[in-house]
């Protein structure tokens, strides 16, 4: 959002504000249709009769991972071992357009997004951080995942 910061606030009406709004879409929903619906909704709201101009930007297709293949099973096993408990699957949204493009290019490939990062990456928010023990467990889980996947594929020595 582009607005006056609290420290610079004045006792007056600010003539404008700007915000970027992000919308995650269902994998089977047309992203352009979703964008148009959101823009229409915002334009209809117009609280207090304020002027509102919506500028549409890039869109990306939603993604839904298959969870029944060997890579997913290896990931479950590795995550369970790294954290010392059973994994729990939940429905969670994600809309990284690259993943949908990769799935389209390689339709039989399993798509798993695993990663570790430090507190300075700010991937999702400027104040995002990762605790050191979480970083260590996630790194261990990734290493265990590759070993588990190799073993399931018959590539590991027994």
What lies within 8 Å, CB to CB, of 128 at 6+ separation is: 119, 121, 122
Give the residues across from 2 on adjacent strands: 18
pLDDT of residue 25: 85
- Report, as ranges of residue numbers, the positions in the chain whose pLDDT lies below 50: none
Q: What per-residue confidence (pLDDT) applies to 120?
A: 67
How high is the pLDDT of residue 54?
A: 92
- The reported pLDDT for the residue numbered 94 is 62
pLDDT value of residue 26 = 85
Cα–Cα–Cα angle for 139, 144, 150, nearest 5°? 135
pTM beyond 0.85: the answer is no
Beta carbons of 1 and 17 less than 8 angstroms apart: yes
Interatomic CA distance for residues 59 and 98, integer angstroms = 12
């Amino acid at each position: 959002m582009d607005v006056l910061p609290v420290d610079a606030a004045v006792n007056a009406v600010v003539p404008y504000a700007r915000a970027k709004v992000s919308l995650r879409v269902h994998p089977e929903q047309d992203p352009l249709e979703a964008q148009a619906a959101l823009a229409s909704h915002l334009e209809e709201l117009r609280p207090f009769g304020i002027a509102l101009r919506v500028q549409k930007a890039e869109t990306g297709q939603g993604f839904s991972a298959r969870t029944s293949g060997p890579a997913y099973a290896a990931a479950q096993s590795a995550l369970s071992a790294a954290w010392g408990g059973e994994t729990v699957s939940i429905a969670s949204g994600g809309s990284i357009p690259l993943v949908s493009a990769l799935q389209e290019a390689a339709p039989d490939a399993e798509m798993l997004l695993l990663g570790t990062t430090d507190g300075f990456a700010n991937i999702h928010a400027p104040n995002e951080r990762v605790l050191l023990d979480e970083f260590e467990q996630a790194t261990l889980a990734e290493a265990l995942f590759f070993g588990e996947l190799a073993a399931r594929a018959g590539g590991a020595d027994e």
